[in-house]
Amino acid sequence: MANNFFKTFVFSTLAICALSCGVQNKRLQEVYRGVPFKMEQIKEPSIPSYTVTVTDFGAVGDGKSLCTEAFARAFEALEKRGGGRLEVPDGIWFTGPIGLKSHTELHLADNAIIVFSADQDLYPIIDTNFEGLDLKRCLSPIHALGATDIAITGKGVIDGNGAPWRELKKRKVGDDIWKATVKSGGVLSDDGKVWYPDEGYKKARLTAGSLNKQADSLDLQEIKTFLRPVMVSLRKCENVLLEGVTFQNSPAWNIHPLWCKNVLIRNIIVRNPHYSTNGDGIDIEGCENVVLVDSSFDVGDDAICIKSGKDQDGRRHGMACHNIIIEGCTVYHGHGGFVIGSEMSGGAHNILVRNCRFIGTDVGLRFKSARGRGGVVKDIWCRDIYMKDIVAEAVTFNLYYAGVSSTEKGEAPVDEVLPPVDETTPEFKDIHFDHIVCSGARQAIYINGLPELPVTGLDFHNSVFGAKKGVTIQGAGDVVFDNVTVNGVTL
């Protein structure tokens, strides 16, 4: 009897797995239908069936025992076997950074929560790239460099424990959060409006201004908190899968695939506090062949962002972001729902965004860059986008972006002397919008291009906007409106 039960259980489990895989494969095939550019279908990572559990290597899921060495030993063991899956059971797993190896999968059980320690000694300063520049920053909590066939899967939660790393602006939070943060330690800005984790962070911020690059003369160990890492850093990796997991509370950006190829992201949840500085959801930078589907974002900065490097560093790397499909995603709080820029020096093309919802987002579709960046952004399609209660613009192009939030604008100076068009001049062209529906926004469409190289090839079709203000266009060539209404008036 027991043997028959075991056989039934195994066959049932296999049947469920086969059904799940079949549904996933069908969904992936559907994503490629109607794509207006050529793109090879992404294959999932090749990972051996060999499985180990993190408890096999001494990890304790009590939320206080440090599991850094256990995770390291587990991945070393998998690497020696040629790869496999590391299972993280139900529990709270407190740890330092985790490094993924080729042909390995980090799999979280339904009630598994990985929480990263804020102990800076666990995060050495390394050479990396952040906000499009080659910089020194702290090692990311989850990281991989040059790995092939890697995955993070399951139903659990990965928490970056980002609050001890981040500065906090008083205007962004209520009195309860502000008072609790100030009481926890740290220092205030001279005007008392910003909280910093420590004096080193404050010193770095004063030299960096609104940017995240401090003066070169500062001692990096003294300002280490300022060098806060992105939570998930995947650099130069190929064949990547992120599926099912909740990624939240990152020190800086949440997920950052950089110069990667063949990346599949589906059914993930990305969360950061609305007040988290640089709390982006996902920044897909200089990547080729990326599919992001059926995921949700509720974050403190741009939610789904395309980047390709900044200024001279970005142009030198020359890694365009291309062949990207984003479908079936929902964005709640965020500076932008779908965003291109502002680090666009390597360019971007062949990008499709469709069947997405932006609810309460600052801006829906946000395109931004600035003089000095360079790069060509072209062949972008945005289709079947539904927006509600947008704080600022439903669609915006701002080529005068200066590091301000999406609810502020960089404006063209009056009677400015135009610079020559050269490699540092950003170019945006051939960008198409179809069936955009917006119910509530401060403005429907705002286009602020550069007079020396206007935005060209923009067209809007079959779209409906409800907004306090209609359309503003400057620094752009002819913009086509076909069956487009704002507050019931046809453009």
Distance (Å) of CA 137 to CA 123, 128, 351, 447:
9, 6, 30, 35
Check residue 10 and report its DSSP letter: H
How do 232-235 and 133-138 pair as beta strands? unpaired
- Quickly list H helices, 81-197: 175-183
Catalytic amino acids? 301, 335
Strands (DSSP E) found in 328-411: 330-331, 336-340, 348-359, 363-368, 376-388, 393-398
The two tokens of residue 210 are: 């609104």
CATH dotted code for 302-491: 2.160.20.10
Blockwise average pLDDT, block size 10, the chain, 491 residues: 49 49 82 96 95 98 98 98 98 98 98 98 98 98 98 98 98 97 97 98 96 96 98 98 98 98 98 98 98 98 98 97 98 98 97 98 98 97 98 97 64 77 98 98 97 97 98 96 98 96
Beta-carbon count within 10 A of 287 CB = 27
Question: pLDDT tens-digit profile of 64-103?
Answer: 999 999 999 999 999 999 999 999 999 999 999 999 999 9
- Write the CB contacts of 58 (distance below 8 Å, at least 6 apart in sequence): 67, 69, 70, 73
pTM value?
0.94
Please report, for the chain, the start and end positions of each structural domain, with discontinuous segments joined by +. Answer: 167-227, 302-491
